[in-house]
Structure 1
Amino acid sequence: MRAFSGITCKDMVKTTTIGQLDEQALRQLYPLIQELAAQEQLPAHRQAVQARLEQS
């Protein structure tokens, strides 16, 4: 009988996903971003999106 560990090297790898939005998509998502930022208590996330929209 072979024994296997519950933890493998795959459990130690951090993966990151990077997305990209055009201005129109960002404007459409802005209300949702505002709500998520409020719920997560991350006001800088909302402010970052607001600053990007003001620049365009």
Structure 2
Amino acid sequence: MLFNLALRLGKTITELEHTMPCSEYTEWLAFFGLDENGNDPDDPTVQIANMRNVLE
């Protein structure tokens, strides 16, 4: 989860872990439209993985 957000914000994981409260992290996920796992639901690879999970 943090890796995707860190990449989008141009920060390291360590920077986020030490400076960002959980409430702000949740708000950023909502702002970027990411799911609870930090994935972009519009990403085709995420959509394929989700379809596979449903079919299993």
TM over 0.5, shorter chain:
no
Q: Which structure has the larger Rg?
A: 1
TM-score (norm 1): 0.31
More helix by share: 2
TM-score (norm 2): 0.31
